[in-house]
Amino acid sequence: MDYHFNFTYIWRHFDRLANGLVLSLELALISILIGMVIGLTLALVHTDMGWKARALVAVYVESLRNVPLLLLVYLVFYGVPSIGGFEYSAETSFVITLSLYSGAYLVEVFRSGLDAVPAGLIEAGKAIGLTPWQRLVHVRIPTMFRISLPSLSNTYISLFKDTSIASVIAVPELTYGAQWINFNTFRIIEVYIVITPMYLVTGYAILIGLRQIENRFAIGVRS
Amino acid sequence: MKAAFESLPFLVDGLLVTLQITAIVVLISLVIGVAMGVALTYGSAWIRWPVRIYSDFIRGIPVLVLIFFAYYGLPAMGLNLDSFTAAVVALTAFKISHVIETTRGAIQSIHHGQMEAAKAIGLPFWQRLFSVIFPQAVRRFLPPWINTVADAAKGSALVSLIGVVDLMLAMQKVIGRTFEPMPIYIAGAIIYFLINYSLSTTSRRMESRFSYIRE
Amino acid sequence: MSDPLVDIKGLKKSFGEVEVLKGIDLGIDSGQVVSLIGPSGSGKTTLLRCINFLVEYDEGSIRVDGREVGYEDDANSDRKPRGERELSAIRAQIGMVFQLFYLFPHLSALENIMLGLTKVRGLPKAEAHDIATGWLERVGLADKVDSLPAQLSGGQQQRVGIARAVAMEPKVLLLDEITSALDPELVGEVLAVVQSLAREGMTMIVVTHEMAFARDVGNRVVFMDEGRVLVDGPPTDVLDNPENERLRTFLTRLNPHFALEPH
């Protein structure tokens, strides 16, 4: 292999990678926050309401989970404006897509979290006279969050990796930055040698960080 | 809409490529992944560490990065792969890491008492594995594994980005001619949906059928 | 006193095909401490949980301080279950302590007690804080105010559970085998708290296996078997030398020396 490594090009354009990494983290964060709102609402609908509501939730969840994310990205970015007549930026459309996508996964996470709340805790809430709404807000949801914490952190890390797909609609996140450097400097191997640890280390750091948070909060839950 | 119907055979060709890629990836990853998973569970530290590192490494980067590297990076290292092969290599490498985890989870979920009982009646290692552990592990392996098959089908869509004319790229090309994105996207989404939904339903049904087996 | 504080008449409850409560009549006056004993499956826990309608009873009536617990106070025979709002208000007047404690894991000991005070009784936070702190001191956990349940021993958690129930100033306190899940050396501290509450006149219905408690603290013992009340009387009568054959069998099984002790 007579390839001559030359990292100077990479460092010259490193800001694309650094900014891209930050953007990836931001996109994932916004998407999971919106996704959590969607997921929690629909999980409550699914748990506490009738079969018709449950069926609608199932339609939403299954539609988003069984179609490739890439297709969803195209659908939202190219397809919707073409029939809606409006336009939005690539970033906006990607956040919408990823939020809907993560919402579909989080419905499952929150649903099983809600199911896992020990019945005795809910009874203890009843015993002190809390109304159903109060039991939901003060007992079920807080407990559900602590139970779901590990799944939530895994979901965030997954979403962080999924932001690489935004590169196909020219959102300047990390993979797009790498491809830009690839196409403009041909330093393909160097750039991948650089971004690989960027993804790995960031993912690992998030994992450790979230695990700390888990340990602080999850000590409260007794199974 | 008429254009959508006329383009159907073209989409079907793309679908066949998608299915082909998925099948190859699933089969190769199954064989290699299970082998590595068994190695991870039972092997010595020399074997366990490389497998662990491989698995964590591959799972820590986006699959798209793997695909781009296989297509753009490997040629620079002297390995010239056409887009189809590059796609298969990248996707297989990715899927293997998932199969390793699924295998490990399935084997480890079996109570270690089973292994001890098998040792106690004098079965050698490979016999223990095949006669006692595997039959039980299969039930725990299949439902999550079928989910990874669905993931492979969904992940295959990314090969369109390196020029493989799968269902995704076929859709793009048709839209390039008709300029009506939505009907084609919806049609493609339905096709992907049917494939994946039937897979995940099979997985769920299997899981409930197997769940009667309690410790 | 005319009517009992807790007035149970003709209570029946079935789970599917199995009739667990076959017609219970029981009246408990204010200030009484009633021990409910019996073999497992006798229905004593079910009876307890009907009183605050955690279990919906099928037939009969349960009145606490004159109010029917689970169903509307209606003249006609059509039984309408109470709405959630009313039910919650009635439950606020009945305290319950659970075998498995069921403290809210995300709240500190103090916050566990404050939750009912602020959200159900509507007290301002400062007042709730003071009341809750007072109760924690009362049960001997003044230094554990900010501790989370996971940081407390079983006995400590149960004492918080008692404080949580009593802080609501209920008319009657229901105790569901509150020491059964505790290590033996922790039982004493919990029973001491219950004893001091009894001395202050708290009306209590206690499902228990601790015969020493039933004898020393309670002033009445009710023996249930197979969904019926078989024996009902003062501890000395019921526990020391009962005539009822089933009760003798039960007490012997609990304490093999019982049959051998001279009475």
Measured CA to CA, the distance from residue C212 to residue C216 in angstroms comes to 6
Nearest CA in chain C to A218: C106
Chain B hits for A80, CB-CB cut-off 8 Å, are 182
- Render pLDDT for B183-199 as a digit per residue (tens, 0 to 9): 889 989 999 999 999 99
Identify whether B7 is part of a domain: yes
Neighbouring subunits of A (3+ Cβ pairs under 8 A): B, C
Alpha-carbon distance C91 to nearest alpha carbon in chain A (angstroms):
5
Q: What is the value of ipTM here, to two decimals?
A: 0.87
Measured CA to CA, the distance from residue C162 to residue C20 in angstroms comes to 28
* Structural domain containing residue B80: 2-210
Chain A hits for B63, CB-CB cut-off 8 Å, are 161
Q: Nearest by CB to B76, from A68, A175, A189: name it.
A: A189
- Render pLDDT for B16-57 as a digit per residue (tens, 0 to 9): 999 999 999 999 999 999 999 999 988 888 999 999 999 999
Q: Nearest by CB to C54, from A123, A134, A222: name it.
A: A123
Measured CA to CA, the distance from residue A25 to residue A38 in angstroms comes to 20
- Residues contacting A118, CB < 8 A, separation 6+: A143, A223, C102
Measured CA to CA, the distance from residue B129 to residue B119 in angstroms comes to 11
Chain C hits for A124, CB-CB cut-off 8 Å, are 96, 98, 102-104, 161
Please report, in tens digits, the pLDDT of each residue of chain C (263 residues total): 568 899 999 999 999 999 999 999 999 999 999 999 999 888 999 999 999 999 999 989 999 998 899 888 765 566 788 888 889 999 999 999 999 999 998 899 999 999 999 999 999 999 999 999 999 999 999 999 999 998 999 999 999 999 999 999 999 999 999 998 999 899 989 999 999 999 999 999 999 988 888 888 888 999 999 999 999 999 988 888 788 888 988 888 877 666 555 54
Verify A-C touch: 3 or more CB pairs within 8 A.
yes
> Is the Cβ of A119 closer than 8 Å to some Cβ of chain B?
no
> Is the Cβ of A199 closer than 8 Å to some Cβ of chain B?
yes
In our burial notation (b when 16+ CB lie closer than 10 A, e otherwise), range C107-121 reads: bbbbbbbbbbbbbbb
Q: How far is residue A78 CA from its own chain's centroid?
A: 22
Instruction: Specify whether the CB–CB gap between A61 and A41 falls below 8 A.
Output: no
Angle between helices B8-42 and B181-210 (to 10 degrees): 40
Identify whether B215 is part of a domain: no
DSSP assigned state of C81 = B
Helices (H) and strands (E) in chain A, counts: 11, 0
Closest Cα partner for C200 from C154, C166, C151, C157? C166
Alpha-carbon distance C125 to nearest alpha carbon in chain A (angstroms):
16
Question: How many domains are contained in chain B?
Answer: 1
Nearest CA in chain B to A196: B61
Measured CA to CA, the distance from residue A35 to residue A29 in angstroms comes to 10
Closest Cα partner for B2 from B178, B135, B136, B121? B178
Closest Cα partner for A125 from C143, C125, C112, C157? C112
Q: How far apart are the first and last CA of chain B?
A: 55
Contact residues, A window 88-127, toward C, CB-based 8 Å cutoff: 118, 120-121, 123-127
Chain A hits for C91, CB-CB cut-off 8 Å, are 126-129
Q: CATH number of the domain that B191 lies in?
A: 1.10.3720.10
pLDDT, residue C236, reads: 87
Identify whether B52 is part of a domain: yes
Fold of the CATH domain A8-116+149-218: MetI-like fold (1.10.3720)
pLDDT, residue C259, reads: 58
For residue C24, what are the CA distances in angstroms to C8, C10, C226, C227, C235? 7, 5, 11, 8, 20
> Is the Cβ of A70 closer than 8 Å to some Cβ of chain B?
yes
- SS3 state at C25: strand
**Token representation of residue C237:** 């009568």
Does the beta-carbon distance from B157 to A164 stay under 8 Å?
Answer: no
- Render pLDDT for B114-134 as a digit per residue (tens, 0 to 9): 877 887 878 888 878 888 888
Sign of the Cα pseudo-torsion (B143, B147, B153, B155, in order)? negative
Strand partners, C14: C19
